[in-house]
Every structure is written in structure tokens, then in C-alpha cells.
Amino acid sequence: MEALIVVDMQKDFLEPEGKLYGGERVRSVIPKVREAINFSRDFMPIICTQDWHRKDDEEFSLWPPHCIEGSPGAEIVEEIGVKEEDIFVKKRRYSAFFSTDLDLILREKNIRKLWICGVLTNICVLHTIADARSLNYEVGLLKDCTEALNDYDYKYAVHHITNVLGAEVITLETFFSLREEDVG
Ligand SMILES: [Zn+2]
């Protein structure tokens, strides 16, 4: 079994008035992530992670306060079209596995392969993939459905995810065609 993991597609990162807005570059992944979700929904569960911080979270010694639990900025952007029946995992750290029940959710559903999209490539995506690999999940990164704040961060992360973490790195187009082969 497989799942699509949609990392932190939240208003504070993706909307111009967000607390930690990543700019047009980061915002540009929204249509692709939407496509990935729409396509995958027929084949696998959609699992959305949400950065979800306490007001006094330790992380705010590194970053300005963002994604405070229950705040409008912590909501997932409407454009990607998540549904109530999708699975939501709230997290306080970069990795969606750290102190969450994501591993339990995946094991209950017999999911061994994770397709990952979302933001930011070099922070929450990278750390989530690192933990997924430590837990022996197979991982595929949809490389045009993720973004970082700049070219260096994006390229470094993709290199690390490929060569150090051993994930498969493919485009959304290839992801679509893999599925067509399966169906055919
Ligand atoms: Zn955070």
C-alpha cells in the first residue's frame, strides 16, 4: 500500500499575509500539489501534515512565530482541495514522524511506500523523509511538487534525499505514467 504525504501546505507559508510566507517561488507549487492530490485520491490515502505550534514553542527561538495551533495561518490552503476524509497529522517539529502518530497510522493501513510533496524541500520535507527512511519506508519525492526558499536549498535537499536517503525522485508526470502502467 502507498500513501501521498502532503507536507505543511499551510497559509502561514503559502499566503502573502502568512507569518512565514515563502514568496512566489514557494507559492508556485500549489497547482502541482493540487494535481498530485486529485490524481492520487483514487489510489491511495491522502495524508496532510500541519505544523502546529504552541504559542511559546521552542522552535520560535529559530523562526518567527508561525502556525500557532488553531490560528488561521495554521489552516491548509483551500486551493489544494483537501477533503474531510483525508488524514491530518499535526506536528511540532520538522519531521512529521517526531512525536506524532504518523507511523501508527501508516502501519495500521499497511502502507510501506510514501509519495511526498509539499514545503519546504530542505526543512520539513527533508526531515520527514529522513525519518521515513530510518523506519524503512520506501520513499518517492515528487520533485516538481515541492519547493524551498532558493535554488541552493532546493538542490541541496534533492541531492541529499536522492544520494544519502536513497529516495526515488521523480516528476509528477512520471508519477502519473507509473500509475497508468499499473492500471494497464
Ligand atoms: Zn514550525
Segment 15-25, tens digit of pLDDT:
999 999 999 99
Arithmetic mean of pLDDT over the chain: 97
Q: Using an 8 Å Cβ cutoff, are 156 and 163 in contact?
A: no
Instruction: Give SS3 for 81.
Output: coil
What is the CA(107)–ligand 1 centre distance, in A? 26
| Average pLDDT over every residue of 57-80 | 97
What is the CA(50)–ligand 1 centre distance, in A? 9
| Average pLDDT over every residue of 61-74 | 97
| Average pLDDT over every residue of 74-101 | 98
What is the CA(116)–ligand 1 centre distance, in A? 18
Q: Which residues surround ligand 1, an ion (CB under 5 A)?
A: 51
Instruction: Give SS3 for 28.
Output: coil
Q: Using an 8 Å Cβ cutoff, are 106 and 137 in contact?
A: yes
What is the CA(72)–ligand 1 centre distance, in A? 15
Q: Which helix (H) or strand (E) covers residue 4, if one does?
A: strand 2-7
Cβ atoms within 10 Å, residue 69: 14
What is the CA(171)–ligand 1 centre distance, in A? 27
Domains and CATH numbers, the chain: 2-183 (3.40.50.850)
Cβ atoms within 10 Å, residue 96: 29
* Rounded Cα distance, 114 and 28, in Å: 23
What's the whole-model pTM score?
0.97
What is the CA(36)–ligand 1 centre distance, in A? 24
What is the CA(71)–ligand 1 centre distance, in A? 13
Phi-psi sector, 67: left (phi>0), alpha (psi -120 to 50), beta:
left
Q: Using an 8 Å Cβ cutoff, are 144 and 171 in contact?
A: yes
pLDDT in tens, 119-172: 999 999 999 999 999 999 999 999 999 999 999 999 999 999 999 999 999 999
What is the CA(13)–ligand 1 centre distance, in A? 10
